[in-house]
Every structure is written in structure tokens, then in C-alpha cells.
Structure 1
């Protein structure tokens, strides 16, 4: 069945219908897909990371063994009780789409282990997708499309996430912060994490708009944007020269790290949209890439994968935190970060 209305989807995600044996969560914003899937997984089993109760499959697993998914769905839990089988899809392979559809259809009819739950995460599936059709058609399955967050959704996510660390923003600060955030859920969470570190986890602070000025700063000027683009493009000497030029113009290390973070976020959004089926140029435009930078960004997108960008994110967070430590050599920290990024880009073939 199709749960297209937000209230219906939220109701199911918070209290899954025991008659439903499979769920397909899909959409262009993979960050929203992952969030909803993780929330649902926690309702199905006590520990979604427990290897005894949970099996996690990828497209590679399906390609290597076409019967692997049905085999996992037929297996019993090693310690008894509910079993969760998760399938994560990132591409648009027609054979894998059909294999997943067949397994979902059989399982939703109760032909496999009735104590197992099938949870599939996918990108922006076309209406002609066999998997999407099967999930929408079967009474024992739920198809949940995910859409880009609205400002109200982002504001709620900011409030809820900050509250977990005993932090808050007043109305003006919240509006300012949300206005400066992108709409891709994964990037939003990374920016909230940076804000938590800035305000101080567990400090009980309620941030005001004036408090966010130092965190948000001004938009980096052209030198910092160029340096960030050069770093992610594998041009080490140019990136260092751009950072030094920006330093002469009065821009410090925190602004340089923020510029690299913004470039990473933009690359990540383009890559995510392309994986969801968008054309490369369409994805670049939707991500706010300036037309003069489009060719270079698309060159970088062909080399940087989501997993490469995700592995780099902790280094940016660490550099951002280090730059804001009293007495730290923030410009040197930013240069070292740019060098690390550029070196990794070169290893990726840029």
C-alpha cells in the first residue's frame, strides 16, 4: 500500500502495523530516507545494529547472489524473536530492482519467514520501477515516498537535535540558522552537529541571533571559494596560494574551513541527486552551482563518491573545532586540511 500523505507515513513509522511485513522507503533526499529507515528499524528490533537479529544487504550482495535476499528473509533469528532484513539500494539497476520486487512480493504474502521484516531504502524510484509497483500493490507492504524537507521540517529537526544536548535557539536565531541551511537532510545534520560543538554540548545555552554571528560569519570571499574548489579538485599549490591570499585579505582559518565545508556540502548534494536519477547538469543547477563553476564541479563529482565525502566530514569538523580553540594556529590548520583534501582528490584521479 502507498503511504503518500505525511500523517499516514508518520503514523506507520512510529507504530508499524503488525500486518505489514515489508516497507520500501524511497526518495531523492537520501538523508530523509536514511533517517526514516533508521527510525523504523528501531521499532522493529531492539538493536538495529545487532548482527544476530539484523542482516544488511547492498546492491553488490544482490548482484553477486540473486537468491541472497530471499535466503535472508527465509532464515530464522539466531536467538529467537523478530528478524530484520535491510536492503540498501543506491542505483537504478533493472535486474536488481526486479529481484527485490519479487522478494518483497513473496515475503509480503507470507511465503517466507513470517517473523522477518524487510526494510528497503532506495533513491528516487521511477513510477515504472517493479519494486515500487510491488510495494504499492501488496497489502502486506508499505511504500513510503520521501520529499525534500520544508523549512518547518528543518526547524523541527534543529530543535529536536539541539534538545538532546540540552541546547536551544530563540525564535530569531532559529529562523536565521534555518535560512542558511541547505535542504539535504544529511548536510543539515552535519551543520547542526557543528552548531552543537560551537554552543557547547550539555551547556544549557539558548543561542540568540547575535551568538550565531561568530558561527555563521560572513560568506567567504572569492579567494576562499577558489581555494576550496582547488582543494577538492586536487590542485594543491593553487589551494595553498588561495588560502594565503585570503589570509592577506583578512580571512582566518575558521572561514577557510567553512568554505571547504560548504564546497563539500555542494558536491554531496550534486552526487546525491545524480544517484537519485537526475542529470549531472540538472543536479548542479539544483545545488546552486554558479554556471562558471559548473564544468569544474562536474569534473569533481565524477571522482568523489558519497562514501569519500562522508569519510572526509569528520576531518572538517575536527579542523573547525581546532580552529576555534584559543591560541590555535587556525590558518595553519586550514592549510593542512586543504592539503589533505587535495591529496585525497589526487588519489581519486583528479
Structure 2
């Protein structure tokens, strides 16, 4: 039988132990693996593999010895509890073997869990599970997780208080990160909020979200964007001591001012433009960039981008001028432009 949507999510979290088998297939191997890990953990628990209630096989193993899967389904261990026979990297070549294993399955046997890549509509492997009355086939698509799925991930991590604005930031973050990175971010958020009973805030999410620009580089870019000319020199000395290349600074500055320009030029205003930036920006950094975009305006930001383009060309040319000095002068000119 086919399974999808909320019913699939429910099965992954609380699988029915009397099912004969489950096929999880999709083009994104990480998404498939995460779902497989989730359902197996829900079936056999954290000690299941140590108690030898999980048997692992690959599609290649079954091509060499088809009897392996039948033996795994019927094998009885020393420990009580649900058992799983797991076949990874399956394909249509072993579909007859798995179809026969499902046909011979009886109550008390292990559940057969199979993972595969992209399968066509005519796939023999997919049909073997879809046509079986007591087995499921679940297709995993590359769509970003929805609100219900994110809430389930948060609940599993022990996070229950996520009000509107913070949830909006998490939804945006889930669209940009792959599932594994998003799950790690949620786990990091749970550790960050450990012992704190207050609701999650956008600032909390900003603190654990993967950074797009290094903090030290961010400092000097903010100094230039906020016309704090006197701070640029000391910050540049620190970056130079850390080995940051002038071209890297120029690329970071161009990215920063391009994001400000995109926000300032948005038809719905700078706030809407900031909300549409990709990758998304969270918490205090989002508010800061909004103030910068509103303070500069679209036309002055166009001038800033022109100045940065000229600086980039000079840094990449055969000029003998000290590169870090060229970049420092450009940032000071930006600060003076922003002060007008």
C-alpha cells in the first residue's frame, strides 16, 4: 500500500509492529536515511541493535545469497521485542527476492524495511510493496518540511514553546538547510535552551543558526554600513592578524551591500525585502540589516556596490598598491558615503 503525508509521518514516529514491510525510496539519500533511522529506532528502541534485533543487509548481499532475507525475517534472538530486517541500496534487480519474502511473511517475523533511490512508476520493487496488503511504500520528496513536521522535530528535541515569529524563522531555516543540518540545528537549540523555561525567540534561533559570514568580518562590514569610520582601522588590523584575505573581505562586503540593496529595492519595502533574503537572516542581525537598508536607501546602495566593484577589480589586477590598504580605504569611503 502507498503511504504519504501525515499518515507517513505518523507511521515513522509510531510504526505498527504487525506490518510485514516498509519501503522508503527517494532521490535524496539523506532524507531517506533519516526516515529509515527514525522508524527503526521507534521499532526496536535505543538498545535494539546491541540486542541483535536488527539485521543489516545490502542489495548486493541479496544478489549473492537471496536466502539471507528469509533467514533474517525468521531468526529468533535471545532478547524479547520487535525485530527488523533492513535492506539498503535495493533496486529492481532484487524485487523478486523481496516480493517472495513478503509473501512468506507470517506474524512474529521481523519487519522488512527496505531503502532505495529514485524508483519509476513501473518499478517492480515499488509494486511489490504497494501491492502487498500488509506492507507500505513511502516516497520521500525533496520538499522542505512543513509546519507539522517541524513541530514534531521540535517536540522530539523537548522544545514546546515556539511562538509565531520564532516559528516563522524556523520555517525559513528549514527551507534553506538540508534535513540533517536542520535536525542538528534543532538539537543545538534544545541544548541552548536547556534549563530555560522561557519561549524560544528569534534571537535564540539566530544564536544557533549556521553563520553565513564570520563574526569578525561581520563586525567590520557593520562598522562601514553604520558609518562608524573610527572603528574600521582597528578591526582591519585584527582581521589582518587572523589571516583574512582582502579579496575575501571584498566578497563579503559585496554580498552584504547587495543584500541591503535587494531589501531597499523590494516593492513592499525594506522589511519585506529582508524577509525574502536567502539564506534567511534571524534575530538581532535581521533588525540591524533592516535599519541599515532603510538608512542607506536604494540609490546610495547602488553607489556602494559600484565602489566595491571597482575595488574588487583593483585587488585582482596587477596593481602594486597594498591590497589590505586598498580594502580599508574602500570601507572608509563606504562609511563616509553612508554618513551623507
Query: Residues of 2 paired with 1:30 and 1:60: CA distance?
Result: 17
In structure 2, the CA distance between the partners of 1:112 and 1:67, relative to structure 1 (3 Å rule), is farther
Output the CA distance in 2 between the equivalents of 1:15 and 1:154: 16
Cα distance in 1 for residues equivalent to 2:139 and 2:29: 11
- Would the aligned equivalents of 1:29 and 1:184 in 2 still touch at CA under 8 Å? no
Structure 1 residue 171 corresponds to structure 2 residue 171: no
Quote the residue 1:75 is aligned against.
75
Cα deviation for residue 134 of structure 1 reads 0.7
Structure 1, unmatched stretches of 5+, are 225-239, 253-287, 289-350
- Indicate if the aligned counterparts of 2:74 and 2:109 stay in contact, CA closer than 8 A: no
Q: 1:25, 1:122 within 8 Å by CA — same for their partners in 2?
A: yes
Deviations 1:44-86 (Å, cap 9, x if unpaired)?
Answer: 4354323422111234533554442233224333446643211
TM score, norm. by length of structure 1: 0.52
Q: CA deviation digits over 1:292-338, x for unaligned, max 9?
A: xxxxxxxxxxxxxxxxxxxxxxxxxxxxxxxxxxxxxxxxxxxxxxx
Q: In the alignment, what sits opposite 1:26?
A: 25
The Cα shift of 1:172 comes to 0.9
Contiguous gaps of at least 5 residues in structure 2? 218-239, 253-278, 280-340
Matches within 5 A, 1:1-12: 1-4=1-4, 6-12=5-11
Query: 1:124 Cα deviation (Å)?
Result: 2.5
**Conserved? CA contact 2:51–2:79, under 8 Å:** no
Q: Is the partner of 2:245 in helix, strand or coil? A: helix
C-alpha change, 1:102 and 1:48, in structure 2 (3 Å) is farther
Normalised TM-score (structure 2) = 0.53
1:16–1:249: structure 2 CA closer, same or farther, 3 Å change rule? same
Query: Separation in 1 of the partners of 2:39 and 2:207?
Result: 37
Contact 2:20-2:105 at 8 Å conserved across structures: no
CA distance in 1 between counterparts of 2:79 and 2:154 reads 38
Match in the other structure for 2:57: 57
2:185–2:209 Cα contact (<8 Å) kept: no
Residues 216/7 of structure 1: CA separation in 2 closer, same or farther (3 Å cut)? closer
* CA-CA distance at 1:24 after TM superposition: 0.8
Partner of 2:93, secondary structure, is: helix
* Residue of structure 2 in register with 1:209 after alignment: 202
Question: What is the CA–CA distance in structure 2 between the aligned matches of 1:217 and 1:3, rounded to whole Å?
Answer: 33
